[in-house]
Copies of this chain bind each other. A is one copy, B any other.
Amino acid sequence: MHDDRWTPPRIMLAVDLVILTLRDARLHVLLIERGVAPYQGTLALPGGFLRDEEEDIEAAARRELSEEAGLVDVHLETLGVYGRPGRDPRGRVVSVAHLAIAPSLPEPIAGTDAAGACWMPVQEVLSTEAELAFDHQHIVRDGVERARGKLEYTALATAFCDETFTISDLQQVYEAVWGVQLDPRNFYRKVQNAHGFITPAGPMRRAEKGRPARLFKAGPVRVLNPPMVRSAQATLPHSAKASRS
């Protein structure tokens, strides 16, 4: 079928990171201004090549997460493979994209590298045309889609929160990621009924403006049952809908 001397082609393997977080109730993604060609000066996802032939892919992703964003111990999962020929002018580069979820952080970045790192609202990234380097806008879109879907049937939302959080903190996550408004009363009930989703974190409380809320921490369960269905209606209590009757 083919030449006996044939050997497989060698390609370059990169990891890219879609790092999502919440900043003032809006979903943001971490972008870095590229310092070198190609796409010098253009915004791009943090990432880089495998360091050597022995490095594990997830280890490389965690290394970039630490080097470029100063993040450790955050949720990290494989998002997909992006390897279309021609996506990188340097040659055949196949990138393994990862999705990372970080709790809200005060600083834009506390990392070591990456002077030009910034948190950018996802909405802006996805609405603009040809703003990001490579196929990174497409990767961001896929990452956000993944997060939206997993919020429904897994406990991923807690990855956006600090160690302890209130139920409205959690609601803000759902509202920001899904881009909808939810009824706090029904949300409260659904979260409580999802067995193992959240567990009380001591009798502590926290205040600021209204009645102090109970604190919770992530529960033991990763798959929600019943799931937090994102059904058709966005539950804007009784507004909008335009005039109808």
Q: Which residues of B contact A50 (CB under 8 A)?
A: 8-9, 11
Measured CA separation A83–B15 after assembly (Å): 12
Q: Given A54-B85, A56-B84, A57-B81, is A10 in contact with B8 using a C-beta cutoff of 8 Å?
A: no
* CB of A78 within 8 Å of the partner chain: yes
* CB of A53 within 8 Å of the partner chain: yes
Q: Which residues of B contact A94 (CB under 8 A)?
A: 13, 57, 94
Asked if B53 contacts A81 (CB within 8 A), the reply is no
Residues from 203 to 230 in A contacting B, C-beta threshold 8 Å: 225
* CB of A113 within 8 Å of the partner chain: yes
Q: Convert A91-109 into 0s and 1s, putting 1 for each residue whose CB lies closer than 8 angstroms to a CB of B.
A: 1101010000000000000
* CB of A130 within 8 Å of the partner chain: no
Q: Which residues of B contact A57 (CB under 8 A)?
A: 81, 83-84, 94
Asked if A81 contacts B84 (CB within 8 A), the reply is no
Measured CA separation A83–B84 after assembly (Å): 18
Closest CB of chain B to A193's CB: distance in Å? 14
* CB of A80 within 8 Å of the partner chain: yes
Measured CA separation A91–B10 after assembly (Å): 11
